Amino acid sequence: MRKLILVLLFLLNSLIYSQEIPDGKMFSSFHMGIFGGINFNTIPTVGSTFQFEGTTNLSSNLNLKIAIAYSNMFKESDYLIKSYGHSKIDNVEGYQEKTYKINRIQYSSIPLNLGLEYTFDGEKILPYGLIEAGYNFFSSEEQIASVGSGRYYNTEGEVPVEFRNKGPFTQDDSAFLFGIGAGVKYKISSSLALNIRYIYRYNDSIINTNQFLVGINF
């Protein structure tokens, strides 16, 4: 992955310096974009994405963009968590074994990224390629499929070691992200365009995702 990133950065650097940039033309235009779509690691685990971005030109064909989004992602899982909880039976307080079956993990994330977009020449239809990098601020939550109860103990010290695990939990963290993709813009007017995009997004500490977005640039 590191080699791929270095190669892409080299190619983009070559693109920037190969462009003819007339004096005063860099950062001469600015556009906003609003997108909605889906992202998934595998087909059964489809999540949603909403993204807001700003784009400015570096040359006639190369744009710089910054984006912030909110996404839900899901990872299929299949494992048990053996834990215990405080219980009360016939007015007698004690501790009872709990077994949680986990079938998936949900990630709620806010990705913030910076990217480069190379647009090919066209009149109405403008295909483009892009790369992006940034950080994903996320919260993960284990999803419970079923809960089972086991033996009852009078004191906490009697609970077996194998059942002294924490129950399903949430975790807040961040991850480096890198994305590569392609899309097409359809000009509706001189200041409005329909934008359809696909991105493969790599996250260094959570699942990688495929992302399909549809939006409007204005």
Q: Please tell me the predicted confidence (pLDDT) of residue 19.
A: 47
Residue-wise pLDDT tens digits, 79-125: 999 999 998 888 889 999 999 999 999 999 999 999 999 999 999 99
Placement of tokens 């494992």 in the chain: 79
Instruction: Let me know: does 30 contact 55? Beta carbons within 8 Å.
Output: yes
Residue-wise pLDDT tens digits, 34-53: 999 999 998 888 999 999 99
3-class state of residue 65 by DSSP? strand
Q: Domain residue spans in the chain?
A: 2-76+108-139+171-217
Top pLDDT among 47 and 12 is at 47
The overall average pLDDT reported for the chain is: 90
Q: Please tell me the predicted confidence (pLDDT) of residue 9.
A: 52
pTM: 0.81
CA distances from residue 150 to 105, 127, 163, 206 in whole angstroms, order as listed: 24, 59, 10, 33
- Dmax (CA) of the chain: 84
What H or E segment, with its residue span, contains residue 111?
strand 92-119
CA distances from residue 168 to 77, 98, 110, 127 in whole angstroms, order as listed: 13, 11, 22, 45
Q: Please tell me the predicted confidence (pLDDT) of residue 18.
A: 46
Residue-wise pLDDT tens digits, 113-160: 999 999 999 999 999 999 999 999 999 999 999 999 999 999 999 999
Residues linked to residue 170 through DSSP beta bridges, in sequence order: 141
Domain at 2-76+108-139+171-217, CATH class: mainly beta
Q: To 5 degrees, how large is the angle CA 139–CA 144–CA 150?
A: 130
What mean pLDDT comes out for the span 22-41?
Answer: 87
Q: Please tell me the predicted confidence (pLDDT) of residue 2.
A: 53
Q: CA neighbours within 13 Å on the CB side: how many for 103?
A: 6
User: What whole-number percentage of the chain has pLDDT above 90?
Assistant: 79
Confidence bin at 10 (pLDDT 50/70/90): low
